């Protein structure tokens, strides 16, 4: 069994997150606009779907490892399952 985890965008990526996702998660974090009003940053949730890692940001951005070994970044409204 694999357990997920949660962390705040921009914070160091937890060791529980597979390294294959780190670059894309970092790119998403860097692309997020800076909130000048002091609102909390969105949080990531790591889960595993069919044994593959899936990181979802509260904003609906998904970073996932596909069955073919590629890593994709998409918005949940573009998700093939939704």
Q: Does pLDDT of 82 surpass 50?
A: no
Residue 3 CB neighbours (<10 A):
8
Q: Does residue 18 contact residue 3 with C-beta atoms inside 8 Å?
A: no
Higher pLDDT, 71 or 38: 71
Measured CA to CA in angstroms, residue 30 lies from 23, 27, 34, 42 at distances of: 11, 5, 9, 13
Total count of domains within the chain? 1
Show the domain range for 22: 5-78
DSSP H stretches of helix in 1-82: 22-31
pLDDT digits (tens, 9 = 90+) for 6-55: 999 999 999 999 999 999 999 999 999 888 788 889 999 999 989 999 99
pTM: 0.86
Q: What's the length of the chain?
A: 82
């Amino acid at each position: 069994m694999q357990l997920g985890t949660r962390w705040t965008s921009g914070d160091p990526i937890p060791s529980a997150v597979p390294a294959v996702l780190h670059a894309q998660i970092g790119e998403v974090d860097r692309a997020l606009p800076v909130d000048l009003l002091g609102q909390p940053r969105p949080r990531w949730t790591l889960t595993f779907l069919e044994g593959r890692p899936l990181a979802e940001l509260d904003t609906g951005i998904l970073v996932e490892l596909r069955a073919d070994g590629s890593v994709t970044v998409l918005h949940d409204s573009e998700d093939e399952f939704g």
